[in-house]
Amino acid sequence: MSSPGISFSFIPNNLRRPQIATEYNSDQAVNTLPTLGNKMLILGQRTSSGIANDSTSQQIFSSADANLYAGNGSVMALTAKAALNANPNLSLSIVTVSDAVASADATGSFAFDGDSTTAGNIDLWVGNVNFNVAVTALDSSSTIATNVQTAIAAKEHLLPITSSVAAGTVTVVARNKGTLGNNIPLSTKQNGMSTAGVTITTTQPTGGSGDPDITDALLGVFPGDFNIIVSTLNDSTNLGLLKTHINSISGPTEGRPCIGVFGNTVNDTGTIQALCGTTLNSERLTCGFLPYVKTTEHGHSLDYEVAGAYAAVIASESDPARPLNTLPLIGIAPSSIEYRMTKTQQESLLINGVTPLVPGVGELVRIVRAISTYTTNDADIDDIAYLDITTIRTLDYVRDAVETRQGLRFPRSKLSTRTPNQVRAQVIDVLLQLESLEIVERVQQNLAGVICERDSQDPNRLNCLIPCDIVNGLMILANRIDLYL
pLDDT tens digit sequence for 423-441: 999 999 999 999 999 999 9
Q: What is the pLDDT of residues 166-215, one digit of tens each?
A: 999 999 999 999 999 999 999 988 765 456 788 999 999 999 999 999 99
Is the same domain home to 192 and 220? no
How many other CB atoms are found less than 10 A from the CB of residue 40?
24
What pLDDT score does 193 carry? 45
pLDDT of 37 > 70? The answer is yes
Q: What is the pLDDT of residues 116-173, one digit of tens each?
A: 888 888 889 999 999 999 998 889 999 999 999 999 999 998 999 999 999 999 999 9
Provide the number of structural domains found in the chain: 2
CA-based nearest residue to 34, from 430, 450, 466, 471: 430
pLDDT of 30 > 90? The answer is no
Position 134 in a domain: yes
Helix (H) or strand (E) holding 121: strand 120-126
Is the same domain home to 229 and 375? yes
Cα-to-chain-centroid distance, residue 206: 27
What pLDDT score does 2 carry? 62
Q: Are strands 259-266 and 228-231 parallel, antiparallel or unpaired?
A: parallel
Widest CA span in the chain: 106
DSSP secondary structure code for residue 335 in this structure: P
CATH number at residue 190: 2.60.40.4390
Is the same domain home to 115 and 66? no
Instruction: Give the end-to-end CA distance of the chain in Å, rounded to a whole number.
Output: 84
Question: What φ, ψ does residue 239 adopt, rounded to 5°?
Answer: -70, -30
pLDDT of 55 > 80? The answer is yes
Quick check: helix, strand or coil at residue 315?
A: helix
Q: Are strands 129-135 and 58-60 parallel, antiparallel or unpaired?
A: unpaired
pTM of this prediction? 0.94
pLDDT of 21 > 80? The answer is no
What pLDDT score does 26 carry? 81
Is the same domain home to 91 and 136? no
Is the same domain home to 168 and 306? no
How many other CB atoms are found less than 10 A from the CB of residue 14?
5
Tell me how far CA of residue 474 lies from CA of 314, 323, 335, 395, 446, in angstroms: 17, 8, 27, 18, 22
Quick check: helix, strand or coil at residue 126?
A: strand
CA-based nearest residue to 266, from 207, 203, 185, 359: 185
Q: Which of 339, 371, 389 is the last residue of a domain?
A: 389
- pLDDT mean over 345-370: 96
pLDDT of 456 > 90? The answer is yes
Is the same domain home to 339 and 363? yes
What pLDDT score does 195 carry? 62
Q: Spell out a b/e string for 414-428, using b for 16 or more CB atoms within 10 Å of the CB, else e.
A: ebeeeebeebbebbb
Q: Which of 339, 360, 389 is the last residue of a domain?
A: 389
Q: Which of 373, 389, 405 is the last residue of a domain?
A: 389
**166/135 Cα distance (integer angstroms):** 18
Task: List the alpha helices (DSSP H) in 410-453.
Answer: 419-436
pLDDT of 221 > 90? The answer is yes
Is the same domain home to 225 and 112? no
- pLDDT mean over 350-372: 96
Class of residue 448 by CB neighbours under 10 A (exposed 0-12, middle 13-18, buried 19+): exposed
* Contact in structure between 193 and 118 (CB atoms under 8 Å): yes
Domain with 191, as residue range(s), is 107-206
- pLDDT mean over 12-17: 82
Is the same domain home to 199 and 138? yes
Q: What is the pLDDT of residues 231-262, one digit of tens each?
A: 999 999 999 999 999 999 999 999 999 999 99
Q: Which amino acid is at 162?
A: T
